Amino acid sequence: MEPETFTGWPQAVLVCVVLEGLRDPARKLAPHAPIAVTLGVSLLWGLIFAVAGFRERKILAPVWRKHRCPIVASGCLCLGLIPSAVAAIRRPEGGLALLALGITSYAAPLAGIVLGYLHAGSESAIRRVMIVYLAVHGLLLIGVFLEFGRLDLRGLSGIDFDWVRYHEGGAISLISGFYRSPDLQGQHAAQAAMFLSVLLVYGGTSRSRRWASLLVPLAACLVLCGRRKMMVAPLLFLAVWLGPTALRAGWRQTGRMTAIMAAVGGLTLAAVSYKWPSPYLTYMTTIAGDSRERVLRSVDGVALTLQQAGWWGYGLGGATQGRAHVAPHDSRVWQEDALSRSAAESGVPGLLVMLGLAVVWSRVGLTSWGSTRDDALAFAGMSLAWLAVYFIAHGTFSSDPATALFAAWPLGVCLGGNARTASPNVGTRDIAVV
């Protein structure tokens, strides 16, 4: 089919990517750091999703035939959340607000998957999203090194909070930079590193590969954020992407990226050893042990949560990050991992549906093994990496619909690319972003 010139929602997505990057510095500089600055971008994402879904309904029409299983699983999730939605409405404090918070936290990733699916029809549109994201957050991440250098500048560090992590090797300061928390800083650094890796391998030009050196400061930002779950995300991404690709296509095609990653790791460790105090190195070595502890803690947390919240849970939104703004007097919730959160909000039904949904969507991502698209496994790796981070600690995503939406975007790209590869005549249209 002939490419169709399209100047609407794809360009709006690029604008929204820029605004999403600027919202944290804007919130820090505004009086009283209003949360409306953070949520305003989420409303814009919702508008873009609605417009794109309506304008591209012909592309979405065949989705039911190609991806019936994940759609049914998502529908089961909606049904499983009905009892907890009723429980949320009946709460004496902030019932409707908590309901809206909970619904948004679950709907945002689905919106991201749909937008990614629509983007999958155009390689140039996908590439532009990644380039704009890299440009915006590449500039903002400079604030990490400014804060680490103790530069007294408005907009640096967390919002009315100094983040410090104590461990056996000492104490380290968690660096936020221009972002509102170290978690967001690490999440954007990890996402930027993953996007840059894909562009380096599949960019197609020698000019794009000159930017490989940027992976070193991105890796340094991950170390300085001090959030081990964000350090794990790129490692999972590489494992899902490079491992199967090497087995399927041979090491020759993955040798360049393997060499780049080895150089980045070596340079980052050398910089850390030379410039930074030993607690950072000691802290980095605890990633493997911490991951095992978090898995065991999650299982124990689910059992304890079900004892406290009962069969049906506290209600939708009751354990979602950000609930303190609408129900400040509820001290019953403490859940950090996603499974305990599902148990607290939706009880046993919601927990079972959430587990099933995770299995189904993971399987969808892993179907990229049979795709002929070179970058399918890369986007699948991003998706599975963020899914793992979500299950370890849901707060980064459940409290911020815009972050959750964009973290799910690679899964939509992977899903749409696989569908178009398997059936070239199903919903094909190149979106020429001009």
Does residue 192 carry a pLDDT above 50? yes
Q: Report H helices in 317-432.
A: 338-366, 376-392, 395-398, 401-422
**Residue 326 pLDDT:** 66
Please give the pLDDT value at position 260: 58
Question: Above pLDDT 90, what percent of the chain?
Answer: 10
pLDDT at residue 246 greater than cutoff 70: no
Q: What is the pLDDT of residue 225?
A: 83
Provide the greatest CA pair distance for the chain.
62
Which whole number is the average pLDDT over 25-32? 86
How far apart CA 55 and CA 33 sit, in angstroms, is 36
The DSSP call for residue 426 is: S
Q: Rounded to whole angstroms, how far apart are CA atoms 283 and 298? A: 21
pTM: 0.85
Q: Do the beta carbons of residue 187 and residue 158 sit within 8 Å?
A: no
Q: What is the mean pLDDT of residues 264-268?
A: 57
Question: Can you give the pLDDT at residue 57?
Answer: 81
CA 184 to chain centre: 10
